Amino acid sequence: MLPEVIATRYVTPLREGGSLPGIVEADDLGTYVVKFTGAGQGRKTLVAEVICGELARRLGLRVPDLVAVELDPVIGLGEPDQEVQELLKASGGLNLGMDYLPGAIGFDPLAYEVAPDEAGRIVWFDALVNNVDRSWRNPNMLVWHGEPWLIDHGATMIWHHNWPTAAGAVLKPYDASDHVLAPVGPAIAPAASALAPLVTRELLEEVTALVPDVWLTEEPGFASPDELRQTYADALLARSGNVHERIVLGPPSADGPSRAPGWLTGRPQGQEVR
Ligand SMILES: Nc1ncnc2c1ncn2[C@@H]1O[C@H](COP(=O)(O)OP(=O)(O)OP(=O)(O)O)[C@@H](O)[C@H]1O
Ligand SMILES: [Mg+2]
C-alpha cells in the first residue's frame, strides 16, 4: 500500500481543479494536494492516479510522491465554504495525496521546451494508459525547478468504467494530435524500445499493490481486490507490447493552439511551435 499519513489541517481549495482538490497538511509535516473520495468523480479516478502515477515514476518520468491521506471529517466542520464542508464530510477514511510542489507553474509549451526524446516517452506512456487529459487545453504538467512534472492521472484507463470493454481497449488507437507535446515531434519509436520492456507483470503487480483495498472492494464482477488488481495488470501488460503502432499524430483540431511567433521561441521563420 502507499505510505499513509494523517491529515491535520485543511489549508485551501484548489479552485482550478474540476474535482475540487485541496491543499492539506499532514502529521508527517508534509503538505499535499489531496483528491477526495467524496468528489463526484468517484474513487476510480483515485485508483487511476495511483496505478498510472506510480507506473510513470517507475518508467523514469517525474511524478510528485503519492500518499494515502487518512481524513477525519471533523476537520471540515470549521470550513466556511459549504461545498468544501460537504466534500470533507463525505471523504472520511483514505484519500489520495500528492506531494505539493511549492512554486511550480503550469506547463506552457510556448515557454518551455521539451526534447523529442522526453516528449516521446511521455506520449508513449499516455498512450499506454489512454490518458485523455494531457492536451494543450489542459496539459496537467507542471514545471518545477526547471523540469516538467506529470500530475493528474485521474482520466486514464477509461475502460475501467465499463469492464466488458477493457479487452477491446488493448487494440484501440491513441489519438495524440491534441497532446500538449505533439508539436515537439515526439520520438515514439525509441521511447517504445526503451519503455515497453520495463512494463513487466512484476512491475504491474508492484504498482497495483499500492492501491488501498478500500478503493477496490465491491466492484461488480470481481470477487476480491486482488482479482481486480490482476485485471488492471493484464490490461496494461497486453497493451504495452505494440501500443506505439496505435499512436496517431495528426494535425491538431481546428481550434488548436495558435502559433508562437519566431521572436518568442527564437526559432527561424517557418519552424514556429504550433
Ligand atoms: N503536486 C502539485 N503541486 C502543486 N500544484 C499542484 C499539484 N497538483 C496539482 N496542482 C495544481 O492544482 C491544479 C488541479 O490539479 P489536478 O489537475 O490534479 O486536479 P483535477 O481536479 O483533476 O483537475 P482537472 O480535472 O480540472 O484537470 C493543477 O492545475 C495545479 O495548478
Ligand atoms: Mg487537472
pLDDT (tens digit per residue) in 190-221: 999 999 999 999 999 999 999 999 999 999 99
Domain of 57, in residue numbers: 4-104
The region of weakest confidence among 79-93, 187-201, 250-264 is: 250-264
Q: How many domains are contained in the chain? A: 2
In which band, very low, low, confident or very high, does the pLDDT at 59 lie, cut at 50, 70 and 90? very high
Task: Give residue 212 CA to ligand 2 midpoint distance, Å.
Answer: 22
| Residue 257 reports pLDDT greater than 70 | no
C-alpha–C-alpha distance, residues 10 and 266, integer Å: 44
Say if residue 93 is in the same domain as residue 110. no
The CA-based angle 158-162-168, given to 5 degrees, is 75
Of ligand 1's listed atoms, the one at least distance from the Cα of 101 is 3
Say if residue 11 is in the same domain as residue 142. no
From the CA of 101, which ligand is nearest? 1
Summarize the confidence of residues 91-96 as an average pLDDT. Answer: 98
Give the residue whose CA is nearest to atom 28 of ligand 1.
17
Task: Give residue 190 CA to ligand 2 midpoint distance, Å.
Answer: 28
From the CA of 100, which ligand is nearest? 1
Say if residue 59 is in the same domain as residue 125. no
Cell reading at 189: 519509436
C-alpha–C-alpha distance, residues 58 and 195, integer Å: 10
Say if residue 42 is in the same domain as residue 153. no
Task: Give residue 17 CA to ligand 2 midpoint distance, Å.
Answer: 6
Task: Give residue 154 CA to ligand 2 midpoint distance, Å.
Answer: 8
In a domain, 270, yes or no: no
In a domain, 272, yes or no: no
Position 16 scores a pLDDT of: 81
In a domain, 212, yes or no: yes
Cell reading at 51: 496505478
C-alpha–C-alpha distance, residues 149 and 165, integer Å: 31
Of ligand 1's listed atoms, the one at least distance from the Cα of 140 is 17
Summarize the confidence of residues 31-43 as an average pLDDT. Answer: 95
Position 256 scores a pLDDT of: 66
Say if residue 113 is in the same domain as residue 232. yes
Mutate to test the pocket of ligand 1, among 44, 65, 151, 180 (most ligand atoms within 8 A of CB): 151
What percentage of residues in the chain have a pLDDT greater than 90?
84
Residue pointed to by grid coordinates 508492484? 206
Say if residue 143 is in the same domain as residue 201. yes
Per-residue pLDDT tens over the stretch 120-157: 999 999 999 999 999 999 999 999 999 999 999 999 99
In a domain, 177, yes or no: yes
From 104, 121, 152, give the residue that closes a domain. 104
Say if residue 130 is in the same domain as residue 202. yes
In a domain, 271, yes or no: no
Ligand 1 neighbours, Cβ below 6 Å, are 14, 16-19, 21, 33, 64, 98-101, 104, 106, 138, 140, 142, 151-152, 154
Nearest by Cα to 107 from 66, 65, 62: 62
Position 41 scores a pLDDT of: 87
Say if residue 126 is in the same domain as residue 219. yes
Say if residue 87 is in the same domain as residue 113. no
Task: Give residue 168 CA to ligand 1 midpoint distance, Å.
Answer: 30
Say if residue 199 is in the same domain as residue 95. no
Say if residue 126 is in the same domain as residue 235. yes
From 75, 104, 133, give the residue that closes a domain. 104
From 87, 104, 121, give the residue that closes a domain. 104
| Residue 79 reports pLDDT greater than 50 | yes
Say if residue 95 is in the same domain as residue 110. no
- Which residues pair with residue 170 across a beta bridge? none
Summarize the confidence of residues 235-243 as an average pLDDT. Answer: 96
Per-residue pLDDT tens over the stretch 150-178: 999 999 999 999 999 998 999 999 999 99
| Residue 265 reports pLDDT greater than 60 | no
Cell reading at 126: 499516455
In a domain, 83, yes or no: yes
